[in-house]
Every structure is written in structure tokens, then in C-alpha cells.
Amino acid sequence: MRAILAELSTQRYLFTAAAQKVPRGLGKSAGWGPGGLLRLVDDLPEPTLPDAPGWLRIRPELSGVCGSDVGVAHAKSSFVLSAFYRAERQVLGHEVVGVVDRVGPGVRRLAEGDRVVLDPVLSCVHRGFDPVCRTCREGHPHVCERFDEPGRTGCAAPTQGFDAALGGGWGEYVVAHESQCHRVGDLPSARAVLAEPASIALHAALHWTRTGDRAVVIGPGTIGLLTVAALRRLHPDLDVAVVSPGAFGSEKALACGASRVLPAGAGAVEALAAADGGRVVRPRLTKVPILEQGVDVVFDCVGLSDTIDLALHLVRPTGTVVLVGAAGKQPVDWSLVWNRELTVQGTINSGPEPSLDGRTTMSEIVQWLADPGYLVDPVVTHTFDLSAWTEALGTASAGPSASAVKVTLRPNPDLDLVG
């Protein structure tokens, strides 16, 4: 099988981390290839169906390049989260739209030839544990307590795309359980491949019970834009401002439903105060002032020290800050959380939602994607053949400077894209 193989030994990790510090043009070739974390192979064994009912195999049409994938590529993954991502051999790619090409025993809803998108979370049920853990039993399989245990599938990762045992979207085949797959019919490939990140964005948006009329989304990347689109769909009258550092991101944000855009850093505080009222309070020896009478909720879709700090300075007392999709060790002054009694929530995967009568955000998003009024078409900007994987990763890493938001890979070029 042709696939991009990630080999996450300590030696390769350190090699790639060192290569990334070499001047541009040298570091990339040294870190992605022989000796590094990632390389393209043509002879990887195809993933096999687990010895359990309900499993099938998919040939991906498109697979997205996620921020977590870029983190692996640049040897910047969280050491804390390595407790759950234990496999040393991985085929990345968990944002997948593809065609079912083989079904195993016990598959009832799907047949060969069906087009599906993949919910990549592997919970107790998929690993064959009985009884299931507490969080799965309570309806939170997206934060399963056994993510580090392989179970009957042999997969030592929370999701597909982080273990070679089940394959990943950056390869010609990926194995999944029927319950993870959602049929998409003739949905255009470039919309369908957004199902997984869009379900994460919807899950994040539903973390906020609406308590006001003003929201801020920080970051016009994939998750930021999809969070804007989700908020616009859920709350048509909500004022959604997007913090964007440049014209490219600002244009994308407005196209996905933002009410307005704000400059980064202190400029966001000043702009909101000038437009909506509210006092600007200036602490000593800090760059970013505090917005008194601030916004009701801030969704930080970047997760860096500066953006978390900005979120805390923008939100009103008793307001909510939602940290979406990114994870890492960041030094932040959290004083305002105590002083203003803020709620800070983290969210990464999609999952079942009480507000959706227990249905998953993935199943809801599949319905939304079929509606042209759901404003996500500006998100996918680039598609590359698997053989051009280094160019794809370089483009995804460059982001706005390469006019890129969501970069996708095409592992099986013989499969026609829809739309």
C-alpha cells in the first residue's frame, strides 16, 4: 500500500526537531524523508479488518491535513498527549471522505460502493471492551478513558490516523467500524472532507449556552472558519467578530458568515470599544488592555499564549472562553479567570450532544453539508496527489502566506472526485 508513514521513535523525533531549526530549504528536506518522522512508502501492508463484527475498509477520495498532523510533521506534538498516542508507526489522516471497498461480517447499514465520511474517534465499543469505561457509559465516547489501550482492534491511539494498524487517510486504505461511518451520497468531495473538522467546530459552538449577542472567534484557519459557520447557522442574529491578522483570513472569515473582522492583539480591544462602547482598562507593563463591558464568549481557535491572553482580555465578567482544537503548553497569566469569574472550557473532538437529542455533531454536520446555505465552500483551498506530500505539508504549514486554509491529499487518484 502506498502511504505516508510516520515513524515516531525518539531518535527520529529528535532528528526532525533539529532539522526544523536548519535554515529554510534545508530543514524541510532533512526532516521529511529518510531519518525523519515522515516518508512516503509504496510497500506498507494493507490494514486488515479486525476479528470482530461490523468492520469495513475504505479507499479515501480526499483526506485533510489537520493542524495536529502539521504538529507531528514539525515534531511539535504535546509530550503530555503522547500518553494516548502510543503507536510508533502511524499513517496520518483522520479527515476522510471515501468509498467503501470491502465489508466484513456484521456490517448491516453500508455496502461496497457507498461514499462515506469518517468519525475517527475509537472508543471502548470500537476496541471491544465490555463493560465500557465510565465516560463512554455516560455518553462521552470522544473522551474515552481507554484511549491508550489497544483492545481487540490493536489500535493504540484515540482516533484513526494515529496508528498504522487501521491505516489513515494519507494512505490508499483505512479500516473503520460501521458505526463511525456516515453515508454522504453525491455530496461534493471538497465539502464532505470537512465533516470531521466541522463536527469539532459545532461541538465547540455548542459548549456555549447563549447568554448574549456578541461573540469573538480568534483565528481564521480551518477550525476558526468552521466555528464561524457553525455559530452563524445556530444563531443567525449573533454578532460574530473574527480576529484576523491579515486580508486573506479576513476575506475568508466574511465569506463564512462573520459579521466583521478585527485586528490582532491590542487592536482588537480598541476596535471593539470604538464600535460597541465599553471602557478600555490599561494594566501596567502589559501590551494588551482589558475590555470592560466585553463580549459574551470568545472561541480561541489558535491556542497560543498571545491568543489565549487576548481572549481573557476581551470577554466580559462571568463570560466564557472556549479553547478549540489546539493543545499545547503555553505560559499565560490566568489572573482574570479568578478575578472576573470566567469559565474556560477545552474541546477537541466531536461527540454526542444533549442539545441534539443525543445525536453526534458528525451526524448533524453531514446534514448541514448537504445545504448550500451552510457557508463552508471557502475553506478547502488546495488538493495534492499523495506523491506531492511535501509540497502539501509545506503549503499547510505556510497557511495564509501560501493562500491556504484547508489542504487536502488525494491518495487514490483513480477515484473521481465528486463536484
Q: Is there a contact between 94 and 120 (Cβ–Cβ < 8 Å)? A: yes
Residue that wins the pLDDT comparison between 161 and 91? 91
Helix (H) or strand (E) run with residue 56 in it: strand 55-64
Give the model's pLDDT for residue 41: 93
**What is the architecture, at CATH level 2, of domain 3-194+379-410?**
Alpha-Beta Complex (3.90)
Cell of 261: 473582522
Q: Where in the chain is the domain with CATH 3.90.180.10?
A: 3-194+379-410
pLDDT surpasses 90 at 213: yes
pLDDT surpasses 80 at 347: yes
CA pair distance 73, 66, nearest whole angstrom: 11
Give the model's pLDDT for residue 42: 94
Q: Give residue-wise pLDDT tens across range 100-130.
A: 999 999 999 999 999 999 998 888 888 888 8
Looking at domain 208-347, its CATH superfamily turns out to be NAD(P)-binding Rossmann-like Domain (3.40.50.720)
Percent of the chain clearing pLDDT 70 (strictly above): 89
DSSP string computed for 117-138: EE--B--HHHHT-SSPPHHHHT
pLDDT surpasses 60 at 27: no
pTM of the model: 0.92
Give the model's pLDDT for residue 153: 72
Q: Where in the chain is the domain with CATH 3.40.50.720?
A: 208-347
- Residue 86: which pLDDT band, with cuts at 50, 70 and 90? low
H-assigned helices in 58-113: 67-73
